Amino acid sequence: MIVNMASTATPDEINHVIERIRECGFQEHVIYGEERTVIGAVGNSNRRSEIEALRAAPGVADVIQIAHPFKLVSRQLRQARTIVDVRGVKVGGDELVVIAGPCSVESEDQLMETAHAVKAAGADMLRGGAYKPRTSPYDFQGLGVEALRFLKHASRETGLPIVTEVMSETDVEIVAEYADVLQVGARNMQNFSLLRKLAPVSKPILLKRGPSATVKEWLLAAEYLLSGGNANVILCERGIKTFETATRNTLDLAAVALVKELSHLPVLADPSHGTGLRSLITPMSKAAAAVGADGLLIEVHPCPERALSDGPQSLDLGGFAQLMIALGKQPRRDAKAA
Ligand code: PEP
Ligand code: MN
């Protein structure tokens, strides 16, 4: 339920509505706009009719139902777009944000070389997996805490904020200590206990869409984070499973455009996992930008043929620089040479 306060509503009238919302067993989410205050009443209570009756309360302009099962992520509740500020990089603002780096952190040298190169090419953030969700238990599983230390070092050297995946509830604390953005991988999108554990964390969360998740399920997963207190959520479309086998996944760009309509949260596209094919990264990056994606997640490796994971979908350093030129992203003037 959304309670729209009149533009003339006084602080006392707003507080009264908040008290009534609590009395009815709902949680209030107050959005103070430039012109008026909007109060979301969210929760599980059978006293909805009492909130509807608040239409008659002083200072209330209107009470409306939220049409979707996701509430706090909905644009119905919040028209203004959420901008997630990651150490000065604004995700969801006017600029296309590019997050680049290796699928897995394999060694300090591999990460440093990549970090300097992507920074020089104009990347905004550095990615790299320390804990890897691999389909086979025999594949490289990541360097864990050692990789987190390398990421921190690379961040200090380049100034780039770090995005890295947290796979398990037990690693939340340590990953939050090192990372600027905690990624929830596609396979964990509906790991509700992990989502609950991440909700109180003070760092932004990058929530990937599950390979078989509907848009509704994806937004409800984000709702777990917002309802638990973390408003800094970045969504990322990374391809879904379809009958098509020519590409690794099917990058669902319609979902990017749709989620921008349905939600105020920023949405990224990941053409690396979304296609599995290096040659498709540039065209699908341009397409993602054209449909309104707020940014891109791109896998980059100094020598993709030697990569311990996802080599075929990784750009080499020169390929990434070319992509950035194709996207019209300016290399940073303060970047150290790669
Ligand atoms: C990744 O970003 O390296 C990754 C494992 O992605 P996803 O969870 O989308 O498969
Ligand atoms: Mn990968």
Q: Is the pLDDT of residue 129 over 60?
A: yes
Provide, rounded to the nearest whole percent, the portion of the chain with pLDDT above 90. Answer: 91
pLDDT at 337: 43
If asked whether residues 243 and 139 sit together in one domain, one would say yes
Q: Whose CA is nearest to atom 3 of ligand 1?
A: 103
Atom number in ligand 1 closest to CA 186: 8
pLDDT at 332: 59
CATH number, residue 213: 3.20.20.70
Calpha distance 167→171 (Å, rounded): 7
Q: Whose CA is nearest to atom 10 of ligand 1?
A: 186
Calpha distance 285→315 (Å, rounded): 13
Contacts of 82 (CB under 8 A, 6+ apart): 92, 231, 232, 233, 264, 265, 266
Question: Which residue from 169, 215, 158 is spatially nearest to 191, judged by alpha carbons?
Answer: 169
Atom number in ligand 1 closest to CA 236: 9
Q: Whose CA is nearest to atom 1 of ligand 1?
A: 103
Residue 75, domain member (yes or no): no
DSSP 3-state assignment of 81?
coil
Residue 74, domain member (yes or no): no
If asked whether residues 52 and 122 sit together in one domain, one would say no
Using most ligand atoms within 8 A of CB, pick from 141, 163, 165, 308 the residue to mutate for ligand 1.
Answer: 165
pLDDT at 46: 86
Give the pLDDT band of residue 34 (cuts 50, 70, 90): confident
Q: Are 103 and 129 in contact (CB under 8 A)?
A: yes
**Spacing of C-alpha 116 from chain mean position:** 24
Atom number in ligand 1 closest to CA 209: 9
Could you tell me the distance, in angstroms and rounded to a whole number, from the CA of residue 109 to the centre of ligand 1? 22
CATH number, residue 8: 3.30.70.1140
Calpha distance 205→48 (Å, rounded): 31
- When divided into structural domains, the chain yields a total of 2
Give the pLDDT band of residue 330 (cuts 50, 70, 90): confident
pLDDT at 333: 61
Instruction: Supply 298's token pair.
Output: 């791109």
* Domain span at 57: 2-64
Residue 106, domain member (yes or no): yes
If asked whether residues 211 and 150 sit together in one domain, one would say yes
Residue 189, domain member (yes or no): yes
pLDDT digits (tens, 9 = 90+) for 166-221: 999 999 999 999 999 999 999 999 999 999 999 999 999 999 999 999 999 999 99
Residue 183, domain member (yes or no): yes
Calpha distance 123→99 (Å, rounded): 6
Residue 36 neighbours by CB distance under 10 Å: 14
Q: Is the pLDDT of residue 275 over 80?
A: yes
If asked whether residues 51 and 129 sit together in one domain, one would say no
The residue behind tokens 């009958």 is 243
Q: 160: part of which helix (H) or strand (E)?
A: none
Q: How many CA atoms lie within 13 A of 82 on its CB side?
A: 26
Candidate from 155-159, 181-185, 327-331 with smallest mean pLDDT? 327-331
pLDDT at 67: 83
Residue 140, domain member (yes or no): yes
Could you tell me the distance, in angstroms and rounded to a whole number, from the CA of residue 222 to the centre of ligand 2? 22
Residue 232, domain member (yes or no): yes
Identify the nearest ligand to the CA of 307 by its number: 2
Q: Whose CA is nearest to atom 4 of ligand 1?
A: 185
Candidate from 22-26, 67-71, 248-252 with smallest mean pLDDT? 67-71
Q: Is the pLDDT of residue 338 over 50?
A: no
**Side by side, which strands form the sheet with 27-32?**
27-32, 37-42, 2-5, 60-64
Atom number in ligand 1 closest to CA 309: 3
Question: Which residue from 308, 272, 331 is spatially nearest to 141, judged by alpha carbons?
Answer: 308
Residue 10 neighbours by CB distance under 10 Å: 12
Which residues partner with 315 through β-bridges?
300
Question: Which residue from 307, 284, 305, 256 is spatially nearest to 128, judged by alpha carbons?
Answer: 307
If asked whether residues 199 and 279 sit together in one domain, one would say yes
pLDDT digits (tens, 9 = 90+) for 246-270: 999 999 999 999 999 999 999 999 9
pLDDT, mean over the chain: 95
If asked whether residues 32 and 119 sit together in one domain, one would say no
If asked whether residues 39 and 152 sit together in one domain, one would say no
If asked whether residues 219 and 258 sit together in one domain, one would say yes
Identify the nearest ligand to the CA of 210 by its number: 1
pLDDT digits (tens, 9 = 90+) for 101-124: 999 999 999 999 999 999 999 999
Atom number in ligand 1 closest to CA 103: 3
If asked whether residues 321 and 280 sit together in one domain, one would say yes
Which residues partner with 59 through β-bridges?
none
Could you tell me the distance, in angstroms and rounded to a whole number, from the CA of residue 52 to the centre of ligand 1? 43
pLDDT at 44: 85
If asked whether residues 58 and 92 sit together in one domain, one would say no
Residue 78, domain member (yes or no): no
pLDDT digits (tens, 9 = 90+) for 131-140: 999 999 999 9
Q: Is the pLDDT of residue 13 over 80?
A: yes
DSSP 3-state assignment of 280?
helix
Calpha distance 15→89 (Å, rounded): 35
Q: Whose CA is nearest to atom 9 of ligand 1?
A: 186
Provide, rounded to the nearest whole percent, the portion of the chain with pLDDT above 70. Answer: 98
| Residue 220 to residues 68, 215, 301, Cα–Cα distance (Å) | 10, 9, 34
If asked whether residues 212 and 102 sit together in one domain, one would say yes
pLDDT digits (tens, 9 = 90+) for 230-243: 999 999 999 999 99
Ligand 1 lining (C-beta closer than 6 Å)? 103, 129, 133, 185-187, 208, 238, 273
Could you tell me the distance, in angstroms and rounded to a whole number, from the CA of residue 186 to the centre of ligand 1? 6
Could you tell me the distance, in angstroms and rounded to a whole number, from the CA of residue 183 to the centre of ligand 1? 9
If asked whether residues 60 and 189 sit together in one domain, one would say no
Mean pLDDT of 134-150: 96
Q: Is the pTM of this model over 0.75?
A: yes
